Amino acid sequence: MKTAKAGTTLRTVVVYLFVIWCIAPILWLVSTSLKSDVDAFSPTPVWVFVPQFQNYVGAWLDGGMGGSMITSALVAIASSALGIVAGLPLAYLSTQIWPAESVASARLTLGILLLTIVPPVLSLTPYYRALFDVGLTGNAVGLTIVHTFYAILLAVLIFRSFLVNFPREVREAALIDGLGEWRTLASTILPNVWGAMFATFVLALIQSWNEFLYALVLTNGSSETVPVTIAGFLSFFGTNWARLTAAGVIGALPIIIFAIVVRKHMARGLSFGGVK
């Protein structure tokens, strides 16, 4: 009995230490963003200070965070929504029309898996050149297309994991009732996959918002997304850390709050059905 109690105490201590390790850097980031630039780069931490909200104003207006936030939001929402619209029918095709264990279904899913494994650096230059030639770099359109591509991969894998055990008889019944495939999808499958759809949307949104490599190459100036703008605060001529950290807080906060609010939906989506 005593050892069990000691075990619980030890467990609690270790877990709390771990959570502090996760959170302390973030708290420090937020506190730095509220300091004056001198205090922010002081050799000894300044514990007591008057909050300086002008870092936020500076990051938003002069630093261009305002514009990037809008660009990032548009790219993330558009690519996640398109990813779902394109991914769900494909997952329906490969689990309901084709049996999940059929060759066609396995091939399709393996193809999606293959594209997921391939590192993005392979397509970086080819996409850049092709999109540049048709005028889709330097604005958010090319980036949205590429992010949609990755959102589709995510959507197919998540929807597949949810639909793979969904009884195929439901579709057959709907077809006998004279519904077409699209109407069947909308009326019998859709109401059963709201959870998967939400998880897909959340993860695709986070993925797009945080994506840096393609954003760095395909956007510039007024079309920059949040990560590119924040990285641009680094300067060889003395970085203004107070303003940089303020930009970091602005850029990361929406996605953190969003993720915490919807966290219940994330675990299963994250592992593509690895967790039932």
User: CB 58 → another protein: shortest distance, Å?
Assistant: 16
| Rounded-to-integer distance, Cα 163 and Cα 109, Å | 13
**Inter-CA distances, 92 with 116, 147, 205, Å:** 19, 22, 22
- Residue placing its CB nearer to another protein in the complex, 135 or 180: 180
- Residue placing its CB nearer to another protein in the complex, 61 or 186: 186
- Residue placing its CB nearer to another protein in the complex, 61 or 264: 264
| Rounded-to-integer distance, Cα 67 and Cα 160, Å | 36
b/e per residue 48-77 (b: at least 16 CB within 10 A): eeeebeebbebbbeebbbebbbebbbebbb
Q: What is the C-alpha radius of gyration for the chain, rounded to an integer number of angstroms?
A: 23
| Rounded-to-integer distance, Cα 107 and Cα 104, Å | 5
User: CB 51 → another protein: shortest distance, Å?
Assistant: 18
User: CB 28 → another protein: shortest distance, Å?
Assistant: 6
User: CB 70 → another protein: shortest distance, Å?
Assistant: 16
- At 13, which amino acid appears? V
User: CB 50 → another protein: shortest distance, Å?
Assistant: 19
- Residue placing its CB nearer to another protein in the complex, 50 or 176: 176
- Residue placing its CB nearer to another protein in the complex, 56 or 233: 233
b/e per residue 118-150 (b: at least 16 CB within 10 A): eeeeeebeebbeebeeeebbbbbbbbbbbbbbb
- The torsion angles phi and psi of 238, rounded to 5 degrees, stand at 75, 100
User: CB 180 → another protein: shortest distance, Å?
Assistant: 6
Q: Helix H segments across 118-231?
A: 121-133, 140-163, 169-176, 181-184, 194-210, 213-218, 226-231
- Residue placing its CB nearer to another protein in the complex, 50 or 168: 168
